[in-house]
Amino acid sequence: MRRLLDIGATPARQAPSDSLCALMLAAAALPGMIPASAHAVEVEQAQLSFSHYAEGGRQFVRGPAVDLKRPDDLQVDTVRGGLRFRLDDRWKLGFDFSQDTWSGATPYISAPEAFTATSTGASLYVNSASNGSISSSLVDRRTLKPLSRTSGRPAERVLNVMTSASPETRSEGRLSLGREWDEAALEVSGGLSDEPDFRSLSLGAQLRLDFNDKLTSLSIGASGTRSDIDARLGNLSDYIDYGMYRDAAHGPSIVSVAVPGADGSGLATNDVESLHWRGQRKDRSLSLALTQVLDRSTVLSAGVTYARSEGFLENPHKLVTLAFANPATAAAFDFLFTPVFSVPEKRPDSRNQLTWNLRLAKYLPSIGAAAHVEYSHARDDWGVRADTIQARWIQQFGAWRVTPRVRYYTQTAADFYQPYFLFLQRYPRDGANNLDHSRIPLDAWSSDQRLSAFGAFSYGIVVSRRLFDDLQLEIGYEHYAHAGDLKWGGGGEDGFGDFRSERFSVGLSFALDGPAPAPASGDFHGGHDHASGHAHSRHAGGDAPAGVMNAHMTGRAGDFMVAYSYVHDRQKGDMITGSRRAGDAEVLASCGQAGCPVRPAGMTMHMHMLHLMYAPTDDVSLMLMPQMMSMSMRNTALEGGFYTALGGHAHGAMDLSSHTTGRFGDTTAAVAVRVPAPARMNAHVTLGVSIPTGSVDHRMAHHGGDLMDFGMQTGSGTWDFLPSLTLTGTDGRWSWGGQLNAVLRPDRRNKSGYVLGDRFEATSWASWRAHERISLSVRGIYTAQGRVRGALRGDNAVVDALGNTSYVHALHNPADLAANTGGRYLDVGIGASVLLPGREASGDRVAIEWIAPVSEKVNGYQLERTGRLSVHWGMMF
């Protein structure tokens, strides 16, 4: 669970599980699902954006384990979207969603340099606390002095200990309903959030009251969030003392996920014990803001927010080490012989925060610009005092708008923060000679650098361009620097925690409340497959189902189409070979002498695609399709494999090698050309190329950082050829279509040692117009997927009898083997398509399709498929 939030900020909205997120996306996207009113429902606004965040500036040092590799810096890829529907002249409905994927190294403990067995650098990287027993020792600056200075030795330099976990994906959705009156407005909202160790539900309300001919407005807001934390800490470690939280009766508790023995008797002596840190958190806030129009070009607003958090406020992935030195031997103190204990952080059970802010906006009509300045101050009962000042300048240049901005943030440290704690006393011990947590002379402790004293300076620019009357493109960049030296007035944290980051974003926003562009002729085809000389019914319903790619062309020269597609794919259940189920013993035997310790038990994929299409002529369309994807795989131990051989049961290894990944995928560029077709039919050929912008180097955080299997990589690593032929037709309320498409991969190897197999697909569909705006469809799909060629590149050196060295991939899962890829699949899909109200003339629509497997014949041993959900939203400009 990670956050890129300043400590002085109020808690972010929290957010849906995989299935719930998919259903929310589908349901909220269908205008037909909105209750009817006296006025036509209209889509008022929409937006879609992608962003990439990357940290840097940390100097890494390799940890004690010799096989460690330098970790990637923290990166976050995010997709956000939103829709606003006007139900009538008073009511509005909104839907927002976001999904972000985190990967790379983050700090989890800080330590004196002598504790790390290194001699240089500011950040140390280890895979886990067991790699060298790294411990953090820290001086409470309020009462003690560092013993290294007391003894005359040089002060120990502090290093930041970093670690990487498998990428994490967070999904968030929010629904809002608003009602307007002549002098007031009310909005109520609810949201769901889901990430691997954090799930929450939030509710909120915002009331605005207008006075003084609407020159004065008073806003009152309230929100509440309930979160359930179930943080998987991994395997039991001899280097981390969880005693304080183990099986606690109240508050956050660290519990063992029991691994039953082979006879069901409970935890086996040699089993691996998996720990989870569980608890609940509640956040509430109240806000009050006053906005005053001072003159025709000046607006002033002031506000105050009170926030209270209680419950599980710790970060479960941050550690602190408590070190104890005997005062009688302080002069002879040596870091190498000091009793140290790595423990989870402990924060107060509640936090109360008050924030004031002041904003001024000034419009300068003489130069077509506006200036925005904002100041805020926040303080809480943890001792954090934070100040923020930021400014924006908005400059209009015709159809262009340029917005530079700058921001400065500074905060004091929390009362219980130190980079490492050192006590001038013998360590308190219980009867078993373990650390007695009840006698530690502090009530709370944390080494989370977000609670330290620091300053941050950021600057950025946003450039936007109105492309059409109702479409705007926005590109943004921001640079951020975090450093102790930037704290106002000095006294910030040492430089070991300094870092910088950059964020790039691109987005499209649509103001869809204006008139739709006129069609090319008196009638049109809803899917934009216009053909000169062919008459089409206004509501032919000939749109292809949501899951068909490259099914449409624009209607005439100069047309521009934007579409968004979301795909949710799931696999879950038994392993199959050919068309039959396979037991654990058979799967284990198929892995060869090395064996497979686990097999996949479930896999989920989310894919977000942005389609951009432009027609230079009536019969040619150019296409570009970037995409972002995230995947998660849940594993279970194979009976008779490595883990169960220790005496446990298959379910006990669930936490040991489950992993997630995500990032931008490959990008498709294509050209579609209309070809002759019979009367009342359209045909076009698409020739595309897949550009390898995705990654084939995603690695697991455990098992030495080996490559993840083929299906968990976000790219192919090769330039691929994508041809297709599409034929569509209409007849009254019926429409139909078919497509042949392929993915051809001419390369011999990618940089990770393999090439995905070629794929051929044939699909056909029929659609029936059930309503003037709604069409229903049914589709059949046959897919032939070839085997992977080559094998995953390995990092484990093997020397044969002749002294030749080769590198092999450590086998963890049947999915690591090329022989267990590809097959023949037959599926059926059912779907619905809805024309967007107010956009009928341009054929803009939202479509949804569910695809279910009918039969499959797989190569090797693979996890059975569950189904696929596709949502498609297309607009013509």
Would strands 340-344 and 789-790 be described as parallel, antiparallel, or unpaired? unpaired
Q: What is the pLDDT of residues 790-807, one digit of tens each?
A: 988 766 555 556 666 555
Interval 102-110 mean pLDDT:
80
pLDDT for 836 equals 76
Distance CA 548, CA 567 (A): 11
Query: 718: closest CA among 752, 691, 740?
Result: 691
Residue 105 has pLDDT above 90, yes or no: no
Pairwise CA distance, residues 526 & 778, whole Å? 17
Q: What's the pLDDT tens digit per position in 152-186?
A: 334 457 777 777 766 788 899 999 999 999 999 99
Asked if 443 contacts 464 with a C-beta cutoff of 8 angstroms, the reply is: no
Would you place residue 524 in the very low, low, confident or very high pLDDT band (cuts 50, 70, 90)?
very low
> How much is the pLDDT for 803?
61
Could you tell me where the DSSP H helices lie in 563-614? 584-590
358 three-class SS: strand
Taking alpha carbons only, the member of 485, 414, 429, 476 closest to residue 454 is 485
Q: In 3D, which of 515, 544, 459 has the Cα closest to residue 735?
A: 544
CA angle 429, 432, 433 (to 5 degrees): 40
Neighbours of 131 (CB within 10 A): 18
Measured distance CA(178)–CA(190) in Å, rounded? 12
- At 393-449, the pLDDT tens digits run 999 998 899 999 999 999 999 999 988 887 877 778 877 777 887 888 888 999 999
Beta strand extents in 296-380 (DSSP E only) = 298-311, 319-325, 340-344, 350-364, 369-380
Tell me: pLDDT of 72 over 80.
no
Alpha carbons 755 and 716: distance in angstroms, whole number: 7
> Amino acid identity, residue 775?
S
Would you state the pLDDT for residue 471?
Answer: 84
263: β partners: none
pLDDT of amino acid 22: 39
CB atoms within 10 A of CB 669: 15
pLDDT of res. 124: 38
What percentage of the chain carries pLDDT values higher than 90? 45
Superfamily designation of domain 560-876 = monomeric porin ompg (2.40.160.40)
* Sequence spans of domains, the chain: 44-169+317-347+416-447, 560-876
The structure tokens listed for 829 are 């899909």
pLDDT of amino acid 758: 96
Quote the Cα angle for 290-296-297, to 5°: 80
Q: What is the pLDDT of residues 17-67, one digit of tens each?
A: 444 343 333 333 333 333 333 445 676 788 889 999 999 887 655 444 444
Q: Is the pLDDT of residue 135 over 50?
A: no
Closest to 459 in 3D by CA, of 403, 376, 377, 378: 403
> At 204, is the pLDDT very low, low, confident or very high (cuts 50, 70, 90)?
very high
Report the alpha-carbon distance of residue 218 to residue 216 in Å, rounded: 7
Task: Tell me the β-bridge partners of 48.
Answer: 81, 508
The pLDDT of residue 31: 36
Region of poorest pLDDT, from 334-348, 580-594, 607-621, 861-875: 334-348
pLDDT recorded at residue 338 = 60
Residue range 654-679: average pLDDT? 83
By the 8 A CB rule, do 52 and 119 touch? no
